[in-house]
Amino acid sequence: MSEELNPFKIAQQQLDNVAKLLDLKKGVHEYLRHTQRELTVNFPVKMDNGDIKIFTGYRIQYNNVRGPCKGGIRYHPDVTLDEVRALAAWMTWKSAVVGIPYGGAKGGVVCNPKEMSQNELERLTRRFTSEISIIIGPEKDIPAPDVYTNAQTMAWIMDTYSMIKGYSVPGVVTGKPISIGGSLGRNEATARGCMFVIREALKHLDYKVIPPEVWRKECEDDGSSICDGDEGTGYRIDGAKVAIQGFGNAGSIAAKLLSGKGAKVIAVSDTRGGILNKDGLDIEKVIEHKAKTGSVIGFEGTELLGHKQVLEVECDVLVPAALENQITNDNVDNVKAKIVAEAANGPTTPEADQILSDKKIMVLPDILANAGGVTVSYFEWVQGLQSFFWSERDVNVRLKEIMVKAFENVLEMSKRHGVDNRTGAYIVAVKRVADAIMHRGIFP
């Protein structure tokens, strides 16, 4: 029997497993298995050559019982309705596991941004925004960047929505440029949050970490990328070997931050393939190489790997930072890491997840490991509502506090129930959402 790779069915299965442990009431369980609202739009875009092309987009609101819906928008040729449903569900649990007052949503457009000009992407974004404007808003549903979208995409969404409303509405999106109300630290937030939980996991596994009194002198007082506001409380992770699949925003910044903490990043990959140097990669130079050539492939002094071969490199920490369903029955037996930190959403299938657990490999699940992005998105939203903006150091310190606390909550719940970290994270998250449902009740 082939392994189930439908992302929404996987998301529902993950919920079902936890519902039994929590003894959820049947009605609450059924409520949480379904999306709350789904919008599918087919819209025209004028291409640079004058042709009109029809694109399909989705915006799914999974649950708003704990607050406004929150979730990114991705542009990718393989976007499907079930993928967006699953991502919206995971956003719901992600917001709950770190304790921020959001529900979950997600959006996507079926397109290949690599084959589109900047002008075409702008027209697509503005038209898609106008189509979904009926359900988004700073008190309802707040989009953010995701795969192949960025701060510029968010600026176009914010401007289009503002033109529809007739006044400026910066709070309609997060992850936007600083010049129009973005937050310092937002671009690095997903990777930084992942770095924080990786470091906590290494400490938990008694990995040799160097305490702050040894390296404090290296820190600057302004909360730079080296310090993250860690002066006196942080730990370096010198020598930890790291492999990262995916070298986009999350993957490349995670590589930079982890190497800045003393880790040895030995392998990275992008969609074209991967590279390996067992003595460690100069991440700054790898980033420069990719900017010049479009890929990490060909970096001097490295061994060529396939995109998925990076998942099989012997290392202390493996960071899947690409797309879902990367660690499956087909390759899980070849995973040789001590820790798998899911910077991507849904990179591990349930069957592979069980095998990792049986192999005593610690998994830092996506709803915990990559929750730094939505956490700092919440900070951006709060700053915008107050029109009072924080320093990058303040952002980083608050992010660290939330991520460390979330890791501790998940670990404690995992130990209490004798389950793996993913199940522990779901117990924390689902209970918080279920409690909110029970307290609010059903209207009317």
Catalytic amino acids?
A: 106
Note the maximum CA span of the chain: 66
Q: How confident is the model at residue 216 (pLDDT cuts 50, 70, 90)?
A: low
- CA-nearest of 242, 278, 229 to 376 is 229
- Residues of the chain with pLDDT > 90: what percent? 84
**What is the per-residue pLDDT for 221?**
40
Q: Hey, do 37-180 and 189-364 end up sharing a CATH topology, with the first three levels equal?
A: yes
**What is the per-residue pLDDT for 444?**
87
Distance separating alpha carbons of residues 152 and 187, to the nearest angstrom: 12
**pLDDT one-digit tens code per residue, 124-141:** 999 999 999 999 999 999
For residues 346 and 141, the answer to whether their CB atoms sit within 8 Å is no
How is residue 220 written in tokens? 């600057």
For residues 299 and 275, the answer to whether their CB atoms sit within 8 Å is yes
For residues 100 and 432, the answer to whether their CB atoms sit within 8 Å is no
Q: How confident is the model at residue 235 (pLDDT cuts 50, 70, 90)?
A: low
What is the residue-averaged pLDDT of the chain? 92
10 Å Cβ neighbour count for 385?
A: 12
Cis before 444 (ω within 30): yes
Distance separating alpha carbons of residues 128 and 108, to the nearest angstrom: 10
**pLDDT one-digit tens code per residue, 179-210:** 999 999 999 999 999 999 999 999 888 766 55
Q: Is the pLDDT reported for residue 233 higher than 50?
A: no
**What is the per-residue pLDDT for 209?**
59
10 Å Cβ neighbour count for 258?
A: 25
C-alpha distances (whole Å) from 268 to each of 93, 190, 319 are 28, 17, 9
Q: What distance, in Å, lies between the first and last C-alpha atoms of the chain? A: 45
Point out the least confidently predicted range of 4-8, 87-91, 96-100, 310-314. 4-8
Q: Is the pLDDT reported for residue 220 higher than 70?
A: no
What is the rounded average pLDDT of the residues 298-313? Answer: 92
Domain range summary for the chain, segments of one domain joined by +:
37-180, 189-364
What is the pairing mode between strands 69-76 and 141-145? parallel
* 229 compared with 121, residue with greater pLDDT: 121
Q: How confident is the model at residue 289 (pLDDT cuts 50, 70, 90)?
A: very high
pTM value is 0.89
**pLDDT one-digit tens code per residue, 34-74:** 999 999 999 999 999 999 999 999 999 999 999 999 999 99
Q: Is the pLDDT reported for residue 232 higher than 50?
A: no
Angle at 368 between CA 402 and CA 352, to 5 degrees: 165
Q: What's the fold here for domain 189-364?
A: Rossmann fold (3.40.50)
- Residues of the chain with pLDDT > 70: what percent? 92
Reduced to 3 states (helix: H, G, I; strand: E, B; else coil), residue 14 is: helix
**What is the per-residue pLDDT for 237?**
80
* 226 compared with 355, residue with greater pLDDT: 355
User: Right CATH number for 37-180 from 3.40.50.300, 2.60.40.4070, 3.40.50.10860, 3.40.190.10?
Assistant: 3.40.50.10860
Distance separating alpha carbons of residues 179 and 159, to the nearest angstrom: 13
| Segment (H or E) for 46 | strand 37-46
For residues 104 and 382, the answer to whether their CB atoms sit within 8 Å is no
